Structure 1
Amino acid sequence: MENRKKFSWSIIFSILSTLVLTGVVVAAFHLLSDQTYMQGPSFWLVWNTKVLAVLASVGVPIVIGMTYTAKSPIPHRGVLCLLILDLIVQMLTPTFSAQIITETELYLLRGSTGIFLAYIGLLIIGPTIIKELDRHELITIRRGIIIVFTIFVVGNVVLNQDILGFRQGQNLIWYLYLFVIGYWLKREDWSQVKRRQLWLGWSVTLIASGLFAWLTTNKVYYDPHHGLSLSDHYLGSIISSQPLFLIFAVLTFILIRQKLKRSIMVTMPSLLSFGFVLILANNPKLLIVTMSGLHHSVWTLPIGVHLLLILGLAAIFVLVVQLAYQQLTRLNQNILPLKNFKFDLNHVHQYLKRVLVAWHFWLPLGLAWLMTVLSMGRLWSWDWSMIQWLVLHREAIIFVNIAIVFAIFGIFWALFNTYWYAFAFTFGAYAIWLIASFIKIDYRAEPILPSDMSMLTSVSELLNMVSKNTIIWAVIGLALLIGLAIFIQHIDRPHLRLNLKKRVALLLIASAALASFYTANHPKTPIALLLDEIEDRPYFFAQLRGAKLNGTLLQFANNLDVKIMAEPKGYSEARMQALAKKYQKVADEINKTRSETNLKDQTVIFNLSESFADPSRVPNLKVSSDPIPFVHQMKANTASGLMLSSGYGGGTANVEYQTLTGLAINNFSPTLPTPYSQLVPYQTVSPAFTNLFNYKVGIHPFSANLYSRKQVYKKFGFNKFYHLNGGDPLSYTAKIDNSPYISDASAYAQTLKVLNDHQGGQFINLVTMQNHMPFDAYYKETNYTVSGTAYTSDTRKQQIENYIQGIHYTDTALKEFIQKIDQLQRPITLIWYGDHLPGIYNGNAMQTYGLQLHETDYFVYSNRYSRQQDRTLPKTKIVSPNNFPAMALAKMNMKVSPYYALQTKVYTDLPAMTLDSFNSAKNNTVNASSEYVSETGKVVSKLTKKQQTLMDDYQLLQYDITAGEQYALKNNFMTQPK
């Protein structure tokens, strides 16, 4: 009789496992999404199968509570096998998932990993809990269950809060509560309860459970453009911790308990089989890969037959697992080294002691976790709800950041072989990293990227951009940390030193871990699959968003693996030859209206004015008076307008690259944020506007180490490059008052000297520095005040006023410069422009004012000696920096090559283009990040067919030059007419 009852409870447990596995397969194969929404019996059959599977999952811990006793054996080896198997599956699943889209609908149970670990924990501590419960009277247990249930209902239904920490049924707390309910059901006398009432209650709660599951997984949205629209939330995984589910489960097992009077523990194979089911529930993609052939072969069958087949296969799987475990146990009784493996809870204090002894592991782990979480909290402006979400739902992302810190720590430990020196160096460096990240984000709304590492060659210049107080506190903090490390190292224990083999192994493992990120953006590599599995989203076109979601270290690592540009469809040598012929014809048409072919007597100056943008155009800002009257005068009397910048608060090098090459940064891969540092130094040939001139000069009154300018200017063929710290020396280096930067007046004086030193035609690229961040109180007087909501603090107000004083000095220096070039008796064409707005208008949301915060001022001027002084340009109101070479040639009435014929068509026939100004790219594709703006200042949602053809040609040319075979250099594409 006892064996029959034991068998009966195992059968019940196996049925629950089968039902859950059936639901897992239904979810994994998208059977619900393949049905017509809310139509026909097939849809409701699949939906109810899914709900029934979730209901079955609630019953599992209840059954264990009903069958466990204080003397029940713990399945030590089975639990260990489950943990090892889950680890193996977790490692293998990314390999299988390369071509499978991870979607919410793949999962039956929300938080399957937490449920699996809760189940394992319950198997281990179940007898201990029973032993404790046996000490209490039944009425006490009953009252406790009712009180908890009341709080549970109030929290869920009334307050919509997880008061008890059940966490949507994903953790051990929920499983323990169900376990206790099972224990209560076992001890309670149910013989007096009328079965008819039980069946009525059971039927009502079954229907109500399905309805409630429907309501909680399906929502309706209202779109003002399209009206009501049904969402696909009904496909999502169902929360198992719902009051109605619990009531249904309790009523179900009361009915079963009336049949089976005694409670005998479920067999070990049955317990193990449900663990297997949870592993599959947590890795549904493994099911998809292993059963895809069978799924496709039976898809033509009716859905009912399909479901029965799945149910049968699930039952067979559960049975096979149980039989396999029984056979393995018999065969390996005396062979397996795991024979005596146990979780001995009676000696838990000894285990804890061993864990605590490893403090040298827990200390850096805890500190790295704390610094990472606090840094991410800082990025979210200490929004508590976001910090909570990050800690609870982005834990894998947080631990990847910690792993990077640990890898660096491992390298230092292996090199120094002193734990505390490595500790000090690692966390001192991490602290400096975070401070530098916050400074850059505050001013440029962008975290530190690999391309910024070129700045490390000019540390002194970087320090000039940081306030003295920050530097002082950083030095004090580092000194204290190093001093503490030296002190503790003297009393360090010997075991914190490593032998040579361990040092080498640690160095290799840590280095390999860091190096793996260089393949992070290559599909199917282990690190790429891992990052995809933990939902790492780099957001290359929204780097700050990426840092907020991924942490600064992981976001930096995401940008290590760079792809220049996606290959356009149909790219080939023949296609490029056809493109050259096409635009040779376009060039012939353009050249009919142009007379000039010789650039040897022409002088062209591109003047990038650092951070210059008219503050009167900034939303929600009022300036007391006009600080730039001469610029306004020039814009009123010359070809002028607004230039779309690809940056805000920074990104000078990107704008400069576009002006010198005529190539658009929005055409590049999202993993190429800075072409100057990431692309140009590595190109065999890098075509630029400078190629049209025999003599070209670069002037930048600052260090040339930033953004690899030395290498870039050499690649672009500059004959001279005037800058600080090497190169051709600057003759004029005066500064205004206390400013650390060379003034624009000095920069213009240097330009005039270059003009006078070389009498022939030339190209000059002038990049000023006077108005670079930070905008501290450098000037003895500020004559302009501001008001409005474009700033949120007095500090930012002061910075804006200091900045405006600086651009007033620029206005004055520019006026004097133009007056002097007007006196030179040679044709000079000047394209003057601001590269980006300063990153100080923190009161204006980028999502609302993105376009205005990316529009700077420009004008094109020919001096009095130029015959082209009065020549008009076809388009001026809104341009992009890649248009400037074509605009310069048009202003000079110069004939063009096929290359510049294409760029001329891009300038005249396409809207101005840039990256997404509103920082709202939803993915990392190039098209999603591009933004087009018409002459009227409106964002263009879609190009015309003719414009799209032109854009395709432009992207072909850009790909060929930057990432392709450079066929354009071999087929006269670049040859200027004579």
Structure 2
Amino acid sequence: MSWLLLLGLLYVFNLCQLTVGSLGQLNGANVGKVLSWQSFSFWMARDGFMTLKALIFIYLGATIGAHRLRTNALVKTWLSAIAILLTLSLVAMTLNYEVGGARVFDSLFIVSRNAFPMVTGLLIFVALAPYLTRLLERPAGVIAYLAILVFPLIGNHDLFLWGNGISLRGVILLCTAGLLVRRIQKYWQALALIGTWLIGALMTAYMGWFSSSYHGDLATMARFIGIGSPFVILPAVGLAYLLMRGTASTNQAPLGFHRLAVPISLATIVLTTAIPFQETLRKLLDGSSMTVSSNNIGNLMLWALEISGVGLVVGGLLGAMVSASKTVALADRRWGNATLLVALEDVWTHLGLFSKRFWHQYRHGIVATCVIAILQAIAVLSTHQSLQMDNLMQTPHMSIFWFTFILRFLTIFFSSAIILLVFWFILAVTDRYWLSLITVSAVSIVLSIATNIKIGARSEPIIPADLAEITSLGELLQMVSPVLLAVVAVGLVVLIGLIIVLERKHGWYHSPWYVRIWRIALPIVFFLGFQNAGHPQTPMHNLLINFNTYRSFSNQLLASQENGPYLQFAYNIDVVVMAKPKGYSKAAVTRIYEKYKALASSLNQTRTNSLKDQTFIFNLSEAFSDPQHVPELKLNEDPISKIRALADTTTYGYMMSYGYGGGTANMEFESLTGLSLGNFDTRLSSPYSQLVENLKTVPNISQGFDYSSAVHPFVGTFYNRIGVYKKFGLNKFVYQGSGYKIIDQKKYGSNKYLSDKTAYANALKQLKARDGGQFLNLITIQNHYPYPTGMYPDNQFSASGSPFSDESKTQIATYAKGLHYTDNEVVKFMAALDKIDKPITWVFYGDHLPASIYDAVMGPKTSVQMHETVYFVYSNKYARAHGAKSKLTTRPFAGTNDFIAMALTQANVKVNAYTALLTEVEQQLPTPWIKIENSLDSSTYGMRFINNNGSLVHYEALTKAQKQLLNDYQIIQYDITVGKQYSQQLGMHP
């Protein structure tokens, strides 16, 4: 039997799979209920497919039996199966995100998990082959085997649960038939066995006639052509004899196939018969519209060839590697010729000797595995500052050990592959085991220390943007304790000495050239995959989903604890920001700059105030929204009556949030920069974490002031605020743990978050601490989710509305009470601002609706309404007395990107070219809102807007002037975030 013949068998097998097999489009329902040439031909085709399937396993059984494979073969087959299943599982996970990471454990623990019963059955057969061979050498054994085949036909039941032949018992049954090939002595005997197929065909035709005549269908037609039928197995035995007879004696394995026949056949059959591979192939076939017709039979044949080719390559390479590897032979000459039972008895008797030999064979792999596991554990634990999961925002806090090594084990296990691949790469390049292992260990430990230091200082892990700081290594080292630096230096010297000693004493290590090649290639391919990890349906994206990675960038610290710092670092490599707008170039940016510089000059003719003399407060009120704006919800009392009354006296309206129940930092980013998320690609889920750190400069409203600060009476780790505010140029950030004292710390009821009273008290403290103008970014936390029953005592609010459950109503009542507290504190803060003798303009906005409690009325018809929060812009008495306006009427519906322009207009402040552009956008464009689709080629594809009536408008409905304005806006936004920042060089921004 030749390579071509084996490939041909596998090719025909896969072609049958795509037609009449489990992947095929033909089935019994398509052939009617009456016996005809069409129905008979179909069932005979199925019979031929069953015979082919049996033939492949019979061939494997004959190959294994002819070699009288023993213990060593069992180990090699087992290792080959692990390598093949693991490889195919990883490939399937890159093609289909629904496979699941548990398939890795299915591949590693074949027998105990039995997720691939076909493979388990093959392993059991290899173990039992010597005993089955002796049994079938006796006539009684052959008679017993034939009886096992015949009995199920009498009762028309699958008595022994053979299944479709790919079950554990079915594989053992078919492989055992391969042992009968050795009993065939004459050519005519093989032909006689093949002739039994005709008997099965006649009996099948008879059963079809009988069933259609008396039952009105063909339900029993397949009675004699099941995978366990003698009329399928015996013809396959005869065919196997004929195929093997041309290349070698039937008492020997086919020439050249004693090592690779099993893995090649195994890889191909597993590929098309085992979950998840069959489901992945089915998904690919459905996507290609594979149906059996004269128009695409060529495509079916091509698919069969490709599937067979994959099996040939995977099985051949892995089979060769496993067979050739010197570390595979668990059993040496002492056990190589022994039966499994004798070998096991010998192992038990000489357990110490076996352990010593096992260690000698696998010591390099054991040591490397243990070291990598320890390094991964250290790396993950370095992301914590305590022994509890504080960042999960839940009480009681969970143990970091339980969370990391139990709940997130699969993801952390996958993350360990990063260390392993780096180790393999260095090992392949140097071919020195201890040098590679100790180098990886040293680098990993240093990175873990650096991660812990950075988290302690800035509450964020190391991300790709930090690589830019290498140019300032001297300054960075000055921030590290001299004692720690000394310890690291001594440690490096010790490690270098250890490498020298171990390489001299135990340094012999040599890998075959092909092993070194794939150890270099695999890491390169793996890490290149992260270049597109953020793109849906890419191999790395699918792989990461299968391993249940934490796919959020809103909290890099939590993500690094969920995924491990190395995987999270790699996750940050691919950042899709936005498509290049039409016409972007340096000349276009220059044209836009000149255009809006002229507009600024025109606007400034009627404006009298300078920004530096003003005090601006941008106040994000956590989860603040209007309950009366929620469909079908009724409250017994208005919780925000005082704020609602501001609509008559100051700028007031609804703000369009991009998130529902979340997305706080995205709204904050828009308000501070004037940039719109509607222009970005939706895969940029968190500009604070994914974008800001990668930019040289980030134009924002705070840069127009001599002094700027932020106050947030909560932890500062979320959304990478510490690093973002530093990049923005803020002078101070007051938060819990910042070193700046938070005064008047008050909580209402059992609420775990500090109140708005505390937030405004600290804001007033900051406003009064400095003379002259300043910018203050104030973020409250009081109304953050959750909203449990009884959180506020003496709660006078109650909710009603048929769509809402009783639990939701109690949560809404709790939320309404929190809004009522905010309502009172806002009015008090406003009164305090009016007593300050300097111009203050206050922008107040809710970032999103509260999480979960309104889910009952969330749907396509209400989606816009459920993203509308409240905003107002207020100028204090002093500001109004010095040129500020009381009220603007241009924006009943606004975006947070409009607030800079609105604040400047209300405060009557002069603008520059950039803020003139924002002013034009605010006054002329509807509010950009959530995209419904992305395109890497078009920055406007899928854009939606909200007009001043609160209605959706698509890009196509914009006027020509609006489209030109949007293009100007997008060119500048692209220039700032993705492009060359020409606008910065021109001085367009503060």
SS of the counterpart of 2:814? helix
Query: 2:12 maps to what in 1?
Result: 19
Pair 1:642 & 2:654 matched:
yes
Structure-2 change in CA distance of 1:531 and 1:684 (3 Å): closer
CA contact (8 A) 2:901 2:919 kept: yes
Relative to structure 1, the CA distance from residue 13 to residue 170 in structure 2 (aligned partners, 3 Å threshold; closer, same or farther) is same
Contact 1:70 1:130 in 2 (8 A): yes
Alignment-mate amino acid for residue 702 of structure 2: T
Shift of 1:786: 2.8
Q: How far did residue 832 of structure 1 move? A: 0.9
Structure 1 pair 199–580 and aligned structure 2 pair: CA distance change class (3 A): same
Q: Determine the structure 2 residue equivalent to 1:73.
A: 68
| Distance in 2 separating the partners of 1:641 and 1:122 | 75
- Equivalent AA in structure 1 for residue 607 of structure 2: E
- 2 CA distance for matches of 1:727 and 1:887? 34
Q: 1:551-566 alignment to 2 at 5 Å?
A: 553=563, 557=567, 560-563=570-573, 565-566=575-576
Give 1:172's aligned amino acid.
L
**Alpha-carbon contact 2:681-2:934 (below 8 Å) kept:** no
Gap change, CA 1:956 and 1:816, over 3 Å in 2: same
Change (3 A) 1:678 1:870: same
SS of the residue aligned with 2:823? Answer: helix
Q: Which amino acid aligns with 1:150?
A: H
Name the SS for the 1:150 alignment partner.
Answer: coil
| Structure 1 position 901, deviation (Å) | 3.9
- 1:246 to 2:229 alignment: no
Supply the distance in 1 between the matched residues of 2:669 and 2:177 (Cα, whole angstroms).
Answer: 69
CA distance in 1, matches of 2:238, 2:731: 96
Mapped pair 1:522 → 2:531: yes
Task: Measure, in 2, the Cα distance between the counterparts of 1:836 and 1:515.
Answer: 42
CA shift, 1:888, in A, is: 2.2
Amino acid corresponding to residue 628 of structure 1 in structure 2: I
2:594 corresponding residue in structure 1: 584
Please list the CA deviations of residues 159-215 of structure 1 after superposition, one character each: whole Å capped at 9, or x if unmatched.
Answer: xxxxx696x866534423544688899999999998766445678999xxxxxxxxx
8 Å CA contact 1:71–1:127 kept in 2: the answer is no
Find the aligned partners of 1:148 and 1:348 in 2 and give their Cα distance. 41
1:771 equivalent to 2:779? Answer no
CA contact (8 A) 2:150 2:229 kept: no
Determine whether 1:615 maps to 2:627: yes
Q: Tell me, what secondary structure is at the counterpart of 1:831?
A: strand
Consecutive unaligned residues of structure 2, counting only runs of 5 or more, are 26-41, 100-113, 209-221, 245-249, 278-294, 356-367, 382-386, 388-397, 410-447, 460-500, 508-521
CA distance in 2, matches of 1:337, 1:435: 32
Match of 2:444 in 1: none
Identity %, equivalent residues: 25
Give the AA of the match of 1:715: K
User: 1:276 is matched with which residue?
Assistant: 264
Q: Determine if contact 1:960/1:968 at 8 Å carries over to the other structure.
A: yes
1:534-933 equivalence runs, <5 A = 536=546, 553=563, 557=567, 560-563=570-573, 565-566=575-576, 575-586=585-596, 588-589=598-599, 592=602, 595-596=606-607, 598-618=610-630, 621-635=633-647, 638-665=650-677, 673-677=685-689, 679-680=691-692, 683-704=695-716, 706-726=718-738, 728-756=740-768, 758=770, 760-775=772-787, 777-787=790-800, 794=807, 798-822=810-834, 827-841=839-853, 844=856, 851-864=864-877, 865-866=879-880, 867-877=883-893, 879-908=894-923, 911-913=926-928, 933=946
- Measure the CA separation in 2 of the matches of 1:11 and 1:699: 74
Give the aligned partner of residue 463 of structure 1: none
Distance 1:771 1:203 in 2: 75
Aligned residue for 1:771, secondary structure, equals coil
Give the match's secondary structure for 2:571.
coil
1-side partners of 2:826 and 2:969: how far apart? 35
Q: What SS class does the counterpart of residue 585 from structure 2 fall into? A: helix
| Partner in structure 1 of residue 148 of structure 2 | 141
Closer, same or farther: CA 753–575 of 1 in aligned 2, 3 Å = same
CA RMSD of aligned residues (A): 7.0
Cα distance change on mapping 1:780 and 1:535 into 2, 3 Å: closer
Question: Are the structure 2 counterparts of residues 142 and 942 from structure 1 closer, same or farther at C-alpha, using a change threshold of 3 Å?
Answer: farther
Secondary structure at the counterpart of residue 675 of structure 2: coil
Alpha-carbon deviation of 1:869? 3.0
Whole-angstrom distance in 2 between the partners of 1:561 and 1:86: 31
CA distance in 1, matches of 2:338, 2:768: 87
Asked whether 1:58 is paired with 2:41, we answer no
Q: Kindly state the Cα deviation for residue 810 of structure 1 after the two structures are TM-superposed.
A: 0.6
1:583-631 CA-to-partner distances (Å, cap 9, x unmatched) read: 4314534764562262244332211112212234445654332211122
Matched residue, 2:418 = none
In terms of mean alpha carbon deviation, does 612-621 or 812-821 score higher? 612-621
In structure 2, distance between residues paired with 1:406 and 1:583: 57
Deviation at 1:516, TM superposition (A): 12
Between stretches 649-658 and 269-278, larger displacement belongs to 269-278
Change (3 A) 1:755 1:963: same
Cα gap change, 1:554/1:457 in structure 2, threshold over 3 Å: closer, same or farther?
Answer: closer
User: Secondary structure in 1 aligned to 2:874?
Assistant: strand
Letter in 2 for 1:606: F
CA distance in 1, matches of 2:308, 2:403: 58
Tell me if 1:972 matches 2:983.
no
Q: Which moved more, 1:141-150 or 1:686-695?
A: 141-150
* Secondary structure, aligned partner of 2:706: coil
CA contact (8 A) 1:662 1:884 kept: yes
Which residue identity does 1:836 align to in structure 2?
H
> Is the partner of 1:970 in helix, strand or coil?
helix
State the AA in 2 paired with 1:63: I
Could you say which residue in structure 2 is the equivalent of 1:267? 253
8 Å contact kept, 1:799–1:840: no
Per-residue CA deviation, residues 864-921 of structure 1 (Å, 9 max, x unaligned), is: 55245355343332x332332233234345454332344345545555445579xx99
Kept in 1: contact 2:47–2:232 (CA 8 A)? no
In the TM superposition, what whole-angstrom CA distance separates every residue of 1:613-658 from its partner, at most 9, and x where no partner exists? 2234445654332211122222465443333334444443332222
Task: Supply the distance in 2 between the matched residues of 1:953 and 1:113 (Cα, whole angstroms).
Answer: 58
- Asked whether the 8 Å contact 2:267–2:315 carries over to 1, the reply is no
- 2:97/2:545 contact within 8 Å kept: no
CA contact (8 A) 1:573 1:967 kept: no
Aligned partners of 1:842 and 1:555: how far apart in 2? 36
> Which structure 1 segments of 5+ residues have no match?
1-6, 33-46, 105-110, 154-163, 207-241, 286-301, 361-402, 417-421, 439-449, 461-499, 506-512
TM-score, normalised via structure 1 length: 0.59
Shift of 1:82: 7.0
Distance change in 2, residues 1:113/1:245 (3 Å): farther
1:949–1:626: structure 2 CA closer, same or farther, 3 Å change rule?
same
1:253: Cα distance to partner? 4.9
Q: Please tell me the residue identity of whatever aligns with 1:876.
A: P
Between 1:602-611 and 1:662-671, the stretch displaced more is 662-671
Deviates more, 1:65-74 or 1:695-704: 65-74
> Secondary structure of the residue that 1:869 maps to in structure 2?
coil
CA distance, structure 1, for counterparts of residue 97 and residue 793 of structure 2: 60
1:62-86 superposed Cα distances (whole Å, 9 cap, x missing partner):
6359969988723877777777778
1:648-699 deviations in whole A, cap 9, x for unaligned? 4444333222211123446667776544455545644332111122343433
Q: CA deviation at 1:20?
A: 3.3
* Cα distance in 2, alignment partners of residues 314 and 724 from structure 1: 59
Give the Cα–Cα distance (whole angstroms) in 2 for the partners of residues 173 and 202 of structure 1: 25
Q: CA deviation at 1:766?
A: 1.7
What amino acid is the match of 1:688?
N
